[in-house]
Structure 1
Amino acid sequence: MRVWRAAYLAAGAVSVAAAAVGRRGDRVTQVVKPALMPLLGAHACARASRGDRLPVVLAGLAGGLLGDVILMGKDGRSEDASVRARNLNLGSAAFSVNQVAYISELWHRGHRPCRSTLVLRAPVLASGIVTAATGAPAALPAAAGYGTALATTSVLAADPEVGGGDFSGAGLGGNLFVLSDGLILARLAFLRGESPVVQRLDGLVDGLVMATYVAAQLLIVEGLTGHTAKTGQAGRKK
């Protein structure tokens, strides 16, 4: 179990470094990034306990793998913002499979939305949609559609009566997913041009996107598998 986790974190660290150096790291990204979800899937299988709906989690990771492959394609580096936006929309469609699987499993385990988590995330979702509408309108499908799926995962994962709230386990993972998506939208909307400063900032933001994504996936999967996962209504207050 620890071997697969360590392998995933190592591949994740390489992916973060490759993303942070921009186009110079693209070849490394093409080799390492597709290994992330299979390694995480192996970790999930190794830690799975009786009662885990492992096929649901693995189906979600398959969607994540497809999304990773799409986003690292040549269109993701296009100088045309509309081309990058269309690529983001396509990748987001695949990542939606990932989030729907997590939403299904969280709900199955008794996680429910509550007023406090909804109130905190509604403005974040709205700001993402506004960012896309003003800076990258072609990315609105990703901002509104996939953004809603991410917000739902985040709301359910942060249920304080079942999980650990916003800052531990799956709850933290859900929040990091939202942060990662927000960074992608901000990068697409505001970091344009070929100046050295813009390119350095673009690489830095891309590295942060990967770092938050790698951490989010691990925290969610570990929250849904193994002895640390809480199931059904057991964690809810009576």
Structure 2
Amino acid sequence: MPRTPVQPHPLAQYADRIDPGKVYTLRQLAELLELAPSSVSGMARYGWLPGSRMKPHRRGGRTYTWTGKQLRRLAGRPIKVQFDHERYAPTTLYRVGCRCPACVQAHSEDSRARKRSLAEDAFPEEKRARLVALVEDATPVAEAAAEVGVTVGEVYGRATWDALFAEELDEAAWSLCVLGQADPGCSTASGYRGKPGGTSPRPACRGTGCREWRRAASQLERAEAAAA
């Protein structure tokens, strides 16, 4: 039998962000709750968001709306939730307290998809292609990122999950190699750190070989720290 515990309303933690003078559409409420519109629609159908009105949508059909005052009141009302996986979407159940493996996985996938969608908006394909071209011309990644209007974090963050972009960036970044791929110092600590002083100073290298050395060294350091 599904359990029916009392839980804070999903709106509770967002109450201070609700404008009491505003009218919220379903999509606007979904953005506020950081949920898919389908999940908010489910909440409305299941009675968690009473008091809504239906109004014509500009693209046809009808949509739910709520006043900010209504949402503020609802935020203060706890709800009884059935963790009924046949009736409710896993992402919705996660939002109201279910932590079963299926709901946790659905929440993780939904969060990842939402973050990647935002990442795509901030760093679309045309910007990625331009950045790669700049790096191929020996422009440091930080400068190339600034040129196309993104941060270094967005560049390397994208590379952690976009294998194609990571490969293109690595290939382009060989142009940043200070010593040259054939030099014994390439892909070493010495190459990565450079030589700021002495008779033959050399800048720190951020070419692909030295970055790969730094990446492997960091992984080893983390593994040793975890084992200690």
**Which protein has greater RCO, CA pairs closer than 8 Å, 6+ apart?**
1
User: Scaled by the length of structure 2, what TM-score is found?
Assistant: 0.23
Look at both structures and tell me which one has the larger radius of gyration over its CA atoms.
2
Higher normalized helix content (fraction of residues): 1
User: Scaled by the length of structure 1, what TM-score is found?
Assistant: 0.22
Higher normalized strand content (fraction of residues): 2
